[in-house]
Amino acid sequence: MPRVSFEHIVKRYGAVTVLDGLNLDVEDGDFLVLLGPSGCGKSTLLNLIAGLQDVSSGRIMIGERDVTELDPKDRGLSMVFQSYALYPTKSVEGNLRFGLAARKLPKEEADKRIQWAADLLQLQPLMRRKPSELSGGQRQRVAIGRALVKHADVLLFDEPLSNLDAKLRTEMRLEIKKLHDTLNPTIIYVTHDQIEAMTMATKIAIMQDGEIQQFGTPDDVYENPANLFVASFIGSPAMNLSPARLELKAGKATAIFSDGTQLLLVGATFDQDVQAGRDIMVGMRPEHFIIDAAGTADGHSMLQLPVIMVERTGSDALISLDFVGEHLFVRAEPDRAARTKTGETVSVHYPTAKLNLFDAQTGLRL
């Protein structure tokens, strides 16, 4: 499968600029997820590569081909939409065959491709049914199969799971991931659901206001967010972010919060040369806290904080603590949460190596 490149892409609607000079490379065989809130430009970017909208300026390359001005049918793409877009009067087999018939593919080759897709997606028992006789997950499998039989160079997915319930979303995530592992196609997938992005992608491009805020592997964008937007967007619950002032105490970098609480930053990673006296934001992931550790372990900072609220969700639990007048969320084992009472003070430790530090003015990672 070929590489896909977006070069200096600009998209305008009248006086409104949605994408302004965007550059992005999708490597051969990558599963790229375009992730971001509604209105960030991710679906617009997908529609541009599909040829459903025109580029205002810039160039889109698929392999060595410039497809910017080509009709959608000539780009070598297949697309799975948010709505299944199946033909209601045709059977499953008829839906799979329709696109191949339009391409005037020989019947023998068409039969071979349909058989292959049906086996891959476990559609054989459903081939004679109409879409109205299928469940949501089955319809989505047919839509994916219709895209696969075209043997396109690149597969595009536009929020394909948003219409499904939670159980079906989980099942279809596994199916799509299995599909990528088996066939290794180049996939560009649009979603606002970070769980979909984290579980399926090989690369994630996080977008806001038409710009790519960070591009990298799921682990990289989660553990090393490039700025405050990425830090607050990725994670459920999101990263705890608290304002502080960076000072030197006995020659050691220290975060001093508004209530006087001090957090020693020895062991914290700084990507930039930092100076004392600057305003920063300190980021702490809920799952990195250790509750009731015996003593202060090396490389950990300790906080003793009152409990505001306990949320239990069966297999998981969150304890909300009062830190500098704001909620600080700590992930806990359900049995530990069951023993926690509102108003009591708990001791939590946080590994300083896991701290995320940002410049409060620019929002960029330090």
CA atoms within 13 A on the CB side of 261: 17
Q: Where in the chain is the domain with CATH 2.40.50.140?
A: 241-359
Report pLDDT digits (tens) over 240-250.
Answer: 999 999 998 87
Question: What are 176-234's pLDDT values in tens digits?
Answer: 888 888 888 899 999 999 989 999 999 999 999 999 999 999 999 999 999 999 999 99
- Delimit the CATH 3.40.50.300 region(s) of the chain: 4-233
In the chain, helix, strand, coil percent, each to 5?
Answer: 30, 35, 35
pTM of the model: 0.88
Q: Percentage of the chain with pLDDT > 70?
A: 97
According to the model, what pLDDT value does residue 1 have? 62
The whole-chain average pLDDT of the chain stands at: 89
CATH dotted code for 241-359 = 2.40.50.140
Query: Using CA atoms, how far apart are residues 220 and 173, in angstroms rounded to an integer?
Result: 21
d(CA 61, CA 296): 55
Residue 56 has pLDDT above 90, yes or no: yes
For residue 68, the one-letter residue type is T
Q: What is the pLDDT of residue 266?
A: 80
Rounded-to-integer distance, Cα 187 and Cα 180, Å: 8
pLDDT of residue 296: 53
Nearest to 334 by CA among 319, 308, 315: 315
Tens of pLDDT, residues 254-272: 899 998 888 888 878 777 6
Residue 238 is encoded by which pair of tokens? 């999101």
pLDDT tens-place string over residues 72-130: 988 889 888 877 788 899 999 999 988 787 777 888 898 899 998 888 888 999 999 99
Whole-number pLDDT of residue 236: 85
Domain 4-233 sits in which CATH superfamily? Answer: P-loop containing nucleotide triphosphate hydrolases (3.40.50.300)
**Phi, psi of 297, deg, nearest 5:** -75, 150
Strand, coil or helix: 265: coil
The conformation of residue 365, written as its DSSP 8-state character, comes to B
For residues 141-152, one letter each, b for 16 or more C-beta atoms within 10 angstroms of the residue's C-beta and e for the rest, the string is: bbbbbbbbbbeb
Nearest alpha carbon to residue 349 among 306, 291, 308: 291
Helix, strand, or coil (residue 108):
helix
